[in-house]
Amino acid sequence: MVMTVAIDGPAAAGKSTIAKEVAKRLGYVYIDTGAMYRCVTLLALKKGIDPKDEKAVETLIPEIQIDMKPNHVIFLNGEDVSEAIRTREVADNVSYVASYKKIRLFLVEIQRKLAQNVSIVMDGRDIGTYVLPNANVKIFQIATVETRAQRRYKENLEKGISCSLEDIKEELEKRDYIDSHRSFAPLSKAEDAIEIDTSFMTINEVVSEVIRIVHNKMENING
Ligand code: CDP
């Protein structure tokens, strides 16, 4: 049976950590849609295009070739950008780029194709509401902004990216605000999504809970 699992939620709620592990344990393909918006933002910055200039960013569409490799390596126009898309500069600008309708339509088409005929776990902001409204399982993963900032801070330090906790908190709040207030496919919880507050849960607990929900759903489908 082909299963689709959508995981949405605010910035740094741990969606990709959970989605990757759930996909690994279930043998599904993991698709990181945030990485795609980050790729477009990186390309704009590299070309000296102002990410706040919608028309200029849109001109990049014919030049965008994104390849997501199975081991979570991301190629943009033939170059491994897995680390380059995680910088502070990209994080600071990605929500502007992600608010442009033409950019979203272009990436959503790729996302829907990737989800065809194969079991997937896809994480993002609009997966359950817009990209895959018929997903078998919809999770809305949240955590307090303090917890999310702490997690991203730790993650950055481990990667050798220097940063301050206060700055990260500010960045997450700014992105969440723009992501939830844009007019096209904003960050929001689908009516039929199950909310999981991960503030006081371990990674393993969240993964087990999502897998339990997926198995329940499969049993329901199979009758
Ligand atoms: O990992 P983190 O939560 O920091 O962010 P991400 O998932 O890499 O997403 C980066 C940004 O891309 C978000 O803040 C949104 O602006 C945008 N995004 C979106 O608009 N729609 C998606 N489906 C995924 C990401």
Over the stretch 176-217, which tens digit does the pLDDT of each residue have? 999 999 999 999 999 999 999 999 999 999 999 999 999 999
Residue scoring higher pLDDT (20 or 70): 20
Q: CB of 141 closer than 6 A to ligand 1?
A: no
Question: Is residue 162 very low, low, confident or very high in pLDDT (cuts 50, 70, 90)?
Answer: confident
pLDDT of residue 160: 87
High-pLDDT (> 90) share of the chain, %: 94
Mean pLDDT of the chain: 97
DSSP assignment of 73-103: -EEETTEE-TTGGGSHHHHHHHHHHTT-HHH
Q: pTM for the full model?
A: 0.97
Residue scoring higher pLDDT (223 or 17): 17
**What is the fold, at CATH topology level, of the domain defined by 4-211?**
Rossmann fold (3.40.50)
Residue spans per domain, the chain: 4-211
- Residue 155: φ, ψ to 5°: -60, -45
Q: Which atom of ligand 1 is nearest to the CA of 97?
A: 16
Torsion 61-62-63-65 (CA) sign: positive
Q: CB of 41 closer than 6 A to ligand 1?
A: no
Radius of gyration of the chain (CA): 17
Say if CB 9 and CB 148 are below 8 A apart: no
Task: Report the chain's terminal Cα–Cα distance, integer Å.
Answer: 13
Among 68, 94, 105, the mutation site with the greatest number of ligand 1 atoms within 8 A of its Cβ is 94
Question: Is residue 4 very low, low, confident or very high in pLDDT (cuts 50, 70, 90)?
Answer: very high
